[in-house]
Amino acid sequence: MTWFLNPPEQNLPMILADNGFDVWIANTRGTRFSRRHTSLDPSIPDFWDWSWDELVSFDIPAIFDFVYGQTGQKIDYVGHSLGTLIALASFSEGKLVNQMKSAALLSPIAYLSHMNTALGVVAAKAFVGEITTIFGLAEFDPKGEPVGNFLKSLCAHPGVDCYDLLSALTGKNCCLNSSTIDLFLMNEPQSTSTKNMVHLAQTVRDGILAKYNYGRPDYNVMHYGEATPPIYNLSNIPHDLPLFVSYGGQDALSDVGDVMLLLDSFKFHDVDKLSVQFIKDYAHADFIMGVNAKAIVYNQVVAFFKRQYS
């Protein structure tokens, strides 16, 4: 749904469709569009027993299998934010790459240790394993009362200004239209699992890209056969996979320092297969809701995808 916040002539799926692409859009599990599990109800804790590891191992491969099965064509992937993290981690494990033509990553998140928003830093400290004892192994619903109270407590920290919650989380966006922001706030953010939030916070705190840490060596051994969680090695991503990366100078979640770390893991990538775009004034939400996103970003994405067919 995030991709449709901009009007039709200004959102990426419609622009791609107008350019002759067959467009498939996925919903992340836990959002209101993805709650119809075959046997588990969202009211049961087991429904929420997952982090972004499961999105990497199961969900995104299932989406690729489905689309590839329907079309028989290799896929051009585009992700924003969490959609880039799960793609990069999947590629690094050799998943998806045989079904893929290219990937465009907008405001890529892999490393998160430079994240500098006051709210983000406080939240990352708060989301330790203990939080699951407060919420249980449960839904993290940003619009629900428990999470509302949790956010209020974070916003009470000195230096955290939550007057403008979008900026407090994403950085200073340059190019948002107030009616699009209203549409965003009516529909987002959607629910996820508390475990996913804990895993993202681990990624911030530990400065590495690794599987979920159960917090005790014996638990990790039980799950992984080793005391520390296995690492996703991004330098394993095939060097000839065409990649387009676009990032913003004002982005607080996909901080320039972290994007530099990510680009460093591509240092052996085929030079002609990696395109990088830097947009000085853009923050995290501009990439999907910016009034000029079409002119600045989407036209570049379309051109990048078309080059794969020439």
Q: Hey, which residues are catalytic here?
A: 81, 251, 284
| Residues 228, 70: Cα–Cα separation, whole Å | 39
| Euclidean distance between CA atoms 225 and 217, whole angstroms | 10
The two tokens of residue 39 are 């046997």
Whole-Å CA distances, 47 to 38, 85, 87: 11, 22, 23
Tell me phi and psi for residue 290, to 5 degrees.
Answer: -65, 140
Q: Could you tell me which residues come within 8 angstroms of residue 120 by beta carbon, excluding any fewer than 6 positions away? A: 169, 204, 252, 253
Label residues 191-201 b or e (16+ Cβ within 10 Å = b): bbbbbbbbbbb
Unique residue bearing structure tokens 């705190």: 205
Q: Residue 96 in contact with residue 241, Cβ under 8 Å?
A: no
Q: How far apart are the first and last CA of the chain?
A: 31
How many Å apart are CA 261 and CA 273, to the nearest integer? 18
AA letter at 289: M
